[in-house]
Amino acid sequence: MGSVTLGELAQHLGTELNDAGQRVTDLPITGLATLATATSGQLSFLSNPKYIKQLAKSDASAFIVHPDMLELVDKPCLVTRKPYVAYAHASQLFASMEAQESGADHDGSGIDASARVSPQAVIGERVVIGPGAVIDAAVVIGDGTRIGANVSIGRGSRLGSDCVIHANVSIYQRVHIGSRVILHSSVVIGADGFGFAFDGERSVKIAQLGSVRLGDDVEVGAGSTIDRGALDDTVIGNGVKIDNQVQIGHNCTVGDHTVICGCTALAGSTHIGRYCLIGGGVGITGHLTIADKVSIGAMSMVSRSVDKPGVYASGAILQESSQWRRNAVAQTKLADLSKALRTIEKQLGKRQL
Amino acid sequence: MGSVTLGELAQHLGTELNDAGQRVTDLPITGLATLATATSGQLSFLSNPKYIKQLAKSDASAFIVHPDMLELVDKPCLVTRKPYVAYAHASQLFASMEAQESGADHDGSGIDASARVSPQAVIGERVVIGPGAVIDAAVVIGDGTRIGANVSIGRGSRLGSDCVIHANVSIYQRVHIGSRVILHSSVVIGADGFGFAFDGERSVKIAQLGSVRLGDDVEVGAGSTIDRGALDDTVIGNGVKIDNQVQIGHNCTVGDHTVICGCTALAGSTHIGRYCLIGGGVGITGHLTIADKVSIGAMSMVSRSVDKPGVYASGAILQESSQWRRNAVAQTKLADLSKALRTIEKQLGKRQL
Amino acid sequence: MGSVTLGELAQHLGTELNDAGQRVTDLPITGLATLATATSGQLSFLSNPKYIKQLAKSDASAFIVHPDMLELVDKPCLVTRKPYVAYAHASQLFASMEAQESGADHDGSGIDASARVSPQAVIGERVVIGPGAVIDAAVVIGDGTRIGANVSIGRGSRLGSDCVIHANVSIYQRVHIGSRVILHSSVVIGADGFGFAFDGERSVKIAQLGSVRLGDDVEVGAGSTIDRGALDDTVIGNGVKIDNQVQIGHNCTVGDHTVICGCTALAGSTHIGRYCLIGGGVGITGHLTIADKVSIGAMSMVSRSVDKPGVYASGAILQESSQWRRNAVAQTKLADLSKALRTIEKQLGKRQL
């Protein structure tokens, strides 16, 4: 990888440069690494105080730190009140340097000869379409968007500008996707919602006539699926970040800037507020409303609406198997236990009289 | 979208047409919508009484309703004892109208030039094979079946007629699929079941020599996986509906018309009866038998067989985090608590003597 | 399918051949089946004593059995102290015979004309690359590796020898994969880990600069996803077996020969030991360390490190719905119940004084 100077980094990240008394503006920085693994020439960062001890031992040549930590370091520092955010911006810079150097931004430019692009599709400028990708009629793709290998985009779908759609993504018909959206491999957007009417003998399919709308700056992790609505649309707000293998049922809405961790599932017609943080492996049943700024712990089952911000959970604590079995069996008799206790309380109360 | 007359709809759906004293047989209906969002010219429906209030306010031009609701409406109605089923049939009609109009049923007909179809494959009439699809030797595809872009179908697999296989589906070798089956994107049918024999040092792979059989009218949601059997086949009955990201282990059997919601997993060699309803996020361990007509609540763990119909559950209720933590810790001492209570009961019992 | 003689099987599996007084070395064996379904000419096996009764009734022509079981059988037997391991090896033999006979090992040899292989890729001998597969620049593929249809392999990734990569797998850039690795369809290796820095208004993406390393003899089930590391790599050890729809977050490490069942999720930076057995549907939160030889029951939530070998669980027992509801509600008041009990104990204790 090439390098950038510490001064350029300070400017790019909008941080102060504390040179520890040395002339370091021109110090070349070749990469980004953790405190423990950084080598000379690399930049590291301290955002979590529990790693303070690693700071002194680190071989990094410079650090991103909070002003309060400055006195602990005798090497050059990029100083900011939000070191983790500065690290995020630095990571993007190094990623783009790596991409440029490897040529990944150059090859595959334009539309690969093996892509099948409908003549009725409208393709913006600087769009890259990878080998084997299939773009159906009436699809619109905004400027600078990159479509990976063997992606399929159905009739009438629209993507904004500067999106990155990774290999083997499937987008069904009439899906609307904002700008700067990232979809990882095996993501499926707009498959039919799970709707059937049981006629007494069999399940009659309810055709899913709605679609899916994703806002700007949405990221969806590998293998996640977002179903199209039955009549209205499924809607994902701006800045929403969805991890891998998340399932979002038809007609759900997810508010702006909410974060959903891996393997979480939303059943149909559930509405999640803005700035929520939904842990991994959570299940949220259908037709619920979750307020803004709600945090839900990993592996919780949410079967009721949550109408005020706060932290919620329902998972169970890991136990050794023999102990767990005794407690799990007791759990199946808990209501009776509770009743027995109340009876005793009454008995004792009477005696006390 | 085009339109259909209310009279044609009544005939198609097999419902009575109640004209509310108006001549409405020729009333053009341009679409289907919810009570809340319907506009003039559209059809809506009332199947859940809790939406009765929306009925009066709705701008829809006609409604599908139960005869008992008829007096609440002063607009034309399609009257049926099963309004939700009629809605399902209406949704299919409008979906096919949309598909025709957009030309989706016309383009892509036949076998795309970029599909790779083995000369040893047997392809029925009116079959559509999308760009980049790969059809291996000895595959048989029934009349009217549509294979999406970049689908892969392995050697010797057979599909019935009028199936819809969406983009990026993977079907392994020797899989048998019935007619009118729908497989959504990223579905994988027939991957190896998870079988290993531990020899004391390492896991020796058990080759999965069985396969998978899907009945007629099965639908499998995006990202779901159904593994091939070790020696015998994994079998999915007729009319089974499987939601997104469901995992079905090797040698499971699922009875006719059972419905499995999203993110549920069946470990190997488990047998599910007919007309069961398995909620989302459920885990069913291996080698169990679940009777017909069993309903299992969302996120339940099923670790024992269920031998009679009924409703079952094991999930936990969401709590505020501080409360949850106290209760979750108490849960790990529940058996001891139960024992202490029994001791007190004995003490009290003795005293009462 | 063709056949192999019982004598050849004994030699191949390294078992003793007990002929029950008959001349059976040349007995042709045409296949492998369970005790219940085997027909004449087939081999079966008994590894679980609970199937002993099926042994006498089985129509199989020969059996793999433990020496202790020998007296129960009056047909030819392959005798070994590890019948399940011998069965595993036999299954592989029959699978390879089936593949040879169907010609699956012959067709598709070499690089399909519709595959897009970068001229800067380095392709070993006897490599098979299926239709529509896309191999980016600087990829290295070892001898005998087979790449399925429409697979995508990103820039600079390296695969060892004799791997099998099934259709529609996505491998991102710079991933390192060992030898004899099997990746099933829709697997995604090396997608971005889920990392964001919240700047007070929105989530700023942390570019994932690390990658993924898979050891030798790893198998990954359909639809599973293994994310690339933020700065360091995500590392999967030798002989690790991962079932379908498993999610492994960035910077996790999984020790050699650990087995992870379906739908389990590891959040980021968690370290699993060697020879662990993680059940299905388990959720393991981030930044934990799990010791070697730990077994975790299905659907457990693991939110603390486990520092010694053993069997652990946290799932809940299935109950009839009406009973479940009472107990689940009582569970939300469990800490109060526990407190009430302790109060009573004190009261009683005082009285006893």
Assign B26 a pLDDT band (cuts: 50, 70, 90).
Answer: very high
Active site residue C89: no
Q: What is the DSSP secondary-structure string of C43-94?
A: EEE--SGGGHHHHHH---SEEEE-GGGGGG--S-EEE-S-HHHHHHHHHHHH
What is the least distance, in Å, from the CA of B308 to any CA of chain C? Answer: 11
**Class of residue B119 by CB neighbours under 10 A (exposed 0-12, middle 13-18, buried 19+):** exposed
Residue of A nearest to B239 (CA): A202
B343/C8 Cα distance (integer angstroms): 66
Sign of CA dihedral C339, C340, C345, C348: positive
Q: Taking CB atoms and an 8 Å limit, are A327 and B317 in contact across chains?
A: no
- The terminus-to-terminus CA distance of chain C in angstroms comes to 83
Q: Cα-flanking dihedrals φ and ψ of residue B339, to 5°?
A: -65, -45
B55/B93 Cα distance (integer angstroms): 23
Assign C1 a pLDDT band (cuts: 50, 70, 90).
Answer: low
Of C168, C259, C332, the CB nearest to B170: C168
Assign B31 a pLDDT band (cuts: 50, 70, 90).
Answer: very high
Task: Return the structure tokens found at A144.
Answer: 């600078």
Position B350 scores a pLDDT of 63
Position A353 scores a pLDDT of 44
Task: Return the structure tokens found at C131.
Answer: 């239709």
C204/A137 Cα distance (integer angstroms): 34
Position B23 scores a pLDDT of 81
A241/B333 Cα distance (integer angstroms): 38
Task: Return the structure tokens found at A345.
Answer: 């309380």
Could you give the percent of chain C with pLDDT greater than 90?
A: 86
What is the least distance, in Å, from the CA of A72 to any CA of chain C? Answer: 23
Q: Is B312 on the interface with C (CB under 8 A)?
A: yes
List A residues 159-218 in contact with B (Cβ-Cβ < 8 A). Answer: 168, 170, 172-173, 186, 188, 191-192, 194-199, 201-209
Q: Cα-flanking dihedrals φ and ψ of residue C52, to 5°?
A: -55, -40
Sheet holding B176-177, edge to edge: B122-123, B140-141, B158-159, B176-177, B212-214, B234-236, B253-254, B271-272, B289-290
Q: Is the pLDDT of residue B27 over 50?
A: yes
Q: Is the pLDDT of residue B1 over 70?
A: no
**Class of residue A289 by CB neighbours under 10 A (exposed 0-12, middle 13-18, buried 19+):** middle
B218-253 burial: b if 16+ Cβ within 10 Å, else e: bbbbbbbbbbbbbbbbbbbbbbbbbbbbbbbbbbbb
| Beta-bridge partners for B296 | B278, B312
The answer to whether residues A112 and A98 touch, using CB atoms and an 8 Å cutoff, is no
C262/A235 Cα distance (integer angstroms): 29
C-alpha distances (whole Å) from C59 to each of A91, A280, C17 are 64, 49, 19
Q: Is B149 on the interface with A (CB under 8 A)?
A: yes
Q: Is the pLDDT of residue B127 over 70?
A: yes
Task: Return the structure tokens found at C240.
Answer: 């690790």
Q: What is the DSSP secondary-structure string of B189-222?
A: EEEEP--EEE-SSSEEE------EEE-TT-EE-T
Q: Cα-flanking dihedrals φ and ψ of residue B344, to 5°?
A: -60, -45
Position A22 scores a pLDDT of 72
Q: Is C307 on the interface with A (CB under 8 A)?
A: no
Helix (H/G/I), strand (E/B), else coil: A187: coil
Q: Which chains touch C (3 or more CB pairs under 8 A)?
A: A, B
Q: Cα-flanking dihedrals φ and ψ of residue A271, to 5°?
A: -120, 120
Q: Tell me how far the alpha carbon of residue A93 is from its chain's centroid.
A: 20
Q: Is A95 on the interface with C (CB under 8 A)?
A: yes
| CA count, 13 A, side-chain hemisphere, A231 | 17
| CA count, 13 A, side-chain hemisphere, A130 | 31
Position C103 scores a pLDDT of 67
C165, containing H or E segment: strand C164-165
C130/C128 Cα distance (integer angstroms): 6
Q: Is the pLDDT of residue C21 over 90?
A: no
C250/C62 Cα distance (integer angstroms): 48
Could you give the percent of chain C with pLDDT greater than 70?
A: 96
A153/A189 Cα distance (integer angstroms): 10
Q: Between the CA atoms of C319, C322, C326 and C327, what dihedral angle is there, to the nearest 10 degrees? A: 0
The answer to whether residues A136 and A155 touch, using CB atoms and an 8 Å cutoff, is yes
CA angle in degrees (0–180, nearest 5) for B243-B265-C280: 150
Position C353 scores a pLDDT of 43
B351/B346 Cα distance (integer angstroms): 9
- The terminus-to-terminus CA distance of chain A in angstroms comes to 83
Q: What is the mean pLDDT of residues B251-256?
A: 98
Assign B353 a pLDDT band (cuts: 50, 70, 90).
Answer: very low
The answer to whether residues C257 and C279 touch, using CB atoms and an 8 Å cutoff, is no
Residues of A taking part in catalysis: 250
Position C72 scores a pLDDT of 87
Residue of A nearest to B321 (CA): A312
Position B20 scores a pLDDT of 64
| Beta-bridge partners for B204 | B197
| Beta-bridge partners for B192 | B228
CB contact set of C271 (below 8 Å; sequence gap of 6+): C252, C253, C255, C288, C289, C290
C19/C79 Cα distance (integer angstroms): 10
Task: Return the structure tokens found at C189.
Answer: 């290796």
What residues of C are in contact with residue B331 (Cβ under 8 Å)? 331, 334
**Class of residue B270 by CB neighbours under 10 A (exposed 0-12, middle 13-18, buried 19+):** buried
* Mean pLDDT, chain B, integer: 94
Q: Is the pLDDT of residue C104 over 70?
A: no
Chain B interface test: which of A204, A245, A277, A290 (most B C-beta within 10 Å): A204
* Structure letter (DSSP) for residue B68: G
CB contact set of A11 (below 8 Å; sequence gap of 6+): none
Q: Is the pLDDT of residue B22 over 90?
A: no
Q: Is the pLDDT of residue B13 over 60?
A: yes
Q: Is A244 on the interface with C (CB under 8 A)?
A: yes
Q: What is the mean pLDDT of residues B199-208?
A: 97
Low-confidence ranges of chain A (pLDDT < 70): 1, 20-21, 103-109, 350-353
Q: Is B334 on the interface with C (CB under 8 A)?
A: yes
Q: What is the mean pLDDT of residues C280-287?
A: 97
Q: What is the mean pLDDT of residues B8-19?
A: 94
Q: Taking CB atoms and an 8 Å limit, are B319 and A323 in contact across chains?
A: no
- Catalytic residue among C66, C166, C176, C250, which? C250
**Class of residue C47 by CB neighbours under 10 A (exposed 0-12, middle 13-18, buried 19+):** middle
Q: What is the mean pLDDT of residues C256-268?
A: 98
Q: Cα-flanking dihedrals φ and ψ of residue A205, to 5°?
A: -65, 135
- The terminus-to-terminus CA distance of chain B in angstroms comes to 83
Q: For residue A19, which of A69, A68, A81, A61 has the smallest C-alpha distance?
A: A61
Q: Is the pLDDT of residue B106 over 50?
A: no
Of B34, B299, B334, the CB nearest to A232: B34
Q: Based on C-alpha coordinates, what's the Rg of chain A?
A: 26
Q: Model confidence over C116-133: pLDDT tens digits?
A: 999 999 999 999 999 999
Q: Cα-flanking dihedrals φ and ψ of residue B237, to 5°?
A: -75, 180
Q: Model confidence over B72-103: pLDDT tens digits?
A: 888 999 999 999 999 999 999 999 998 887 76
| Beta-bridge partners for C78 | C17, C64
The answer to whether residues B261 and A194 touch, using CB atoms and an 8 Å cutoff, is yes
Q: Model confidence over C74-90: pLDDT tens digits?
A: 899 999 999 999 999 99
Q: Taking CB atoms and an 8 Å limit, are B247 and C259 in contact across chains?
A: no
Position B99 scores a pLDDT of 85
**Class of residue B68 by CB neighbours under 10 A (exposed 0-12, middle 13-18, buried 19+):** exposed
